[in-house]
Chains A and B, each alone.
Chain A
Amino acid sequence: MWYRRLLLALLLAPALLWLFALIILPHLDLALLSFRERVAPREYVASLAQYRTFFGEPLYWHVFVRTALMSAIATVLTLLVAFPIAWIIAKLARGRMSALLFVVCLIPFWVSETVRTLGWMILLRESGVLPALLVHLGITREPVELLYHDATILVGLVYTSLLFMVVPLVSSLESLDNALIEAAYDLGGKGWSILREIVIPHAAPGITAGCIVVFMLTLGNYLTPTLLGGKSSQWFTEQIYTQFITRFNWEQGAAFGFLLLALSTAMVWLGLKISGQRFSDVMRRA
């Protein structure tokens, strides 16, 4: 019926408009920006210079690779931390207990990312709570600086990402029939072989979904790596910000933005390939 279609179109219109006006249009604009070069004040020509700069300047792709690697490590760590939590929520805890655990994972999101990260800084700085505690317990003789290390960034990123990993994992683990685990055990399986042969294959869509979401969030994170990172720590989003805001070099910033988009697309594709999942299945889990 034509009026049904009209109704559907009207219902979808706000979402499509939003998608077009706030996501697609700016990206088209950025794409155009990234392919031009300043030759003189207010004078620009079409060029691949921005991309050439990226590949020609080791500094930039070092930061790029570093950001990708750190994000991958953070994703793996998040998975390792989230899996037992998800297992407990899905399989062991009952009723209120599992709701409580969910809330615990949600707590980080009750305060803004800025406040949360500043909280970490107060906790970890040399004159902060944790170093003082370490001295008090006799573990270190002098307060040590726990801030400004790569490990600190990782801890912050894992903490921020935990919920986004736990949710898809719980939903995929909940659908795992306990009888399958018992059957595997009954047939001589042990903890590790059951995990590898039964649990992980079953939870694969959830694991992939969680990893994709966490990887993308981490890759695109700005505050946590910038505030917790040390004086040598660079994150690619920070580089994009710098190009746009402090260098007034929108062309370079746009090119960097597209390179980051390409990276995250490539990683998603790779993740799906490695885990043998289909995008639509995985997105249903997320």
Chain B
Amino acid sequence: MISISGRCVLTVLLVLGLVAGAPARADNAKVLRIITWADYVPAEVVAQFRKETGIQVEVTLSNNEEMISKLRATGGAGFDLAQPSQDRIFGAQQEFGIYKPFDTSKVRLDEFVPELLATVRTNATIGGRLYGLPYVWGTEGLVYNSKRTRISDYGDLCKPELRGRTAVRLKRPTLMAFALASGKNPFALYGDTKAYTALMQQIGKTLTACKANFRFFYDNKDQLLNGMRTGEIYAAMMWDSGGWALNRENPDIKFINPRSGAIAWMDTFALPARGRNDAGAYAWINFVMRPEIAAKVAKSIGNFTAAKGADQLMDPRVRAQFAESFPDGLKNIKWYPAIPPGLEAIEGEVLDRVKAAD
């Protein structure tokens, strides 16, 4: 068949191209390969970094799970710097050994906000050595269209009048949020597999009962943003930056800190075990943690960074939005603790059941 053989030929050419292209790559020290999230490495910052250091940055976009899977597949090779969430370092390192510890003498630690650095120290220290440094943080809360409805906590997404008009991700943050909304603290049960399993199964039942309210389970931010923009979705779980972006387009759409508390995430720097350009990685970390560079990054992402003093340089509009969404400041925010190995399997089974339920 024409198109199959066409595809085969294409594949072969691609493979040959990769093989032929590999030796043509620039000197290891001149290239920094980062696997990270969308918007985390703005082109403007890359250009300035190159001007100062002569190092070319190559960016691969990804998410937590893919980052771990890709590094696992290569045993930690292929990238010089990764940016997993702070709670996803410990388990992955225990299980697959894909990272190497930081040499803290090579990082200007006083550039980091001390509380955030302390959080990462708590969650990403293994055998007394530090495997992560804070980069960007934000929260996941609720977004709703005030013309259509009014909600104050995660459980409100299951109100009968919102049938078919809400959306969440079918991932662990949703389980955590609904667990918090049920009055339990899932993080306290991380160490107790049995109790944790029971809690997750209970939350699975809650989500299944609520399923008629979910229009879809979204996989990427844009899917939800479009749903909110077109009015197909009235209320959803959402990241603060996405909620604020919507709010700027349409003031009727609000991002709020739910009564049970928004869940705070923090993405980090981590060194892949078999990275080739550690010097470049340290240079990059020190570069982007400068307040004026960090402010550029923050603008690109729409979230706050872990760089001391960058807050003051943040877009005043975002600061106003933060103040509106979090009238009590950071008091009612829950930070993810490190996930011990094996938890994902328990959660995964629950999530599969929710998906399969009718």
Contacts and interface: CB of A to CB of B under 8 A. Distances in A.
A/B contact in complex, CB under 8 angstroms? yes
B357 A232 contact: yes
Contact of A246 (B2, B12, B215, B348): B348
A18 B15 CA distance: 10
A25 interface: no
Contact of B95 (A41, A226, A230, A242): A41
Contacts of B115: none
A148 B230 contact: no
Given A126-B232, A246-B348, A164 B1 contact: yes
B358 A232 contact: yes
B217 A42 contact: no
Interface in A231-267: 231-232, 234, 239, 242, 244-249
B2 A245 contact: no
A109 interface: yes
Contacts of A125: 230, 232
Nearest to B231: A127
Given A109-B3, A167-B1, A232 B355 contact: yes
Given A231-B211, A234-B355, A286 B1 contact: yes
Contacts of B68: 248
Given A244-B69, A248-B72, A249-B345, A232 B1 contact: no
Contacts, number: 80
Interface in B55-111: 65-66, 68-69, 72, 92, 94-97
Contact of A41 (B12, B94, B171, B217): B94
A66 B253 CA distance: 39
B302 to A, nearest CB: 24
B217 A231 contact: yes
Contacts of A89: none
Nearest to B355: A234
A244 to B, nearest CB: 6
Given A59-B356, A163-B3, A247-B348, A231 B97 contact: no
A18 B3 contact: no
A278 interface: no
Contacts of B214: 231
B344 interface: yes
B341 interface: yes
A148 to B, nearest CB: 6
Interface residues of A, number: 35
B232 A127 contact: yes
B356 A234 contact: yes
B132 to A, nearest CB: 18
B190 interface: no
A172 to B, nearest CB: 13
B355 A248 contact: no
A246 B355 CA distance: 15
A74 B286 CA distance: 55
B125 to A, nearest CB: 17
Interface residues of B, number: 38
Contacts of A245: 65-66, 69
A41 B349 CA distance: 19
Interface in A119-142: 125-127
Nearest to A40: B341
A63 interface: yes
Contacts of B230: 125-127
A22 interface: yes
B356 A62 contact: yes
A36 B228 CA distance: 45
A163 B68 CA distance: 38
B274 interface: no
A107 B217 CA distance: 31
A213 interface: yes
Interface in A57-71: 59-60, 62-63
Interface in A1-51: 14, 18, 22, 41-42
User: Which of the listed residues A126, A168, A230, A234 has the most CB atoms from chain B within 10 Å of its own CB?
Assistant: A126
A13 to B, nearest CB: 13
B232 A246 contact: no
B15 A247 contact: no
B205 interface: no
Contact of B344 (A22, A248, A286): A248
B216 interface: yes
Interface in B203-231: 211, 214-217, 219, 230-231
Interface string B143-176: 0000000000000000000001000001100000
B95 A22 contact: no
B315 interface: no
A226 B216 CA distance: 11
Contacts of B95: 41-42, 248
Contacts of B358: 232
B69 A248 contact: yes
Given A232-B358, A248-B69, 12 more contacts: A22-B15, A42-B95, A42-B97, A59-B352, A125-B232, A127-B232, A145-B232, A231-B214, A245-B69, A246-B65, A248-B95, A249-B345
15 contacts: A42-B96, A42-B97, A59-B353, A125-B230, A126-B232, A145-B164, A164-B1, A164-B3, A167-B2, A226-B219, A232-B357, A232-B358, A234-B356, A239-B352, A248-B68
Interface of A: 14, 18, 22, 41-42, 59-60, 62-63, 109, 125-127, 145, 147-148, 163-164, 167-168, 213, 226, 230-232, 234, 239, 242, 244-249, 286
- Top 5 closest A-B pairs, CB basis? A127-B230, A246-B65, A247-B348, A245-B69, A41-B94
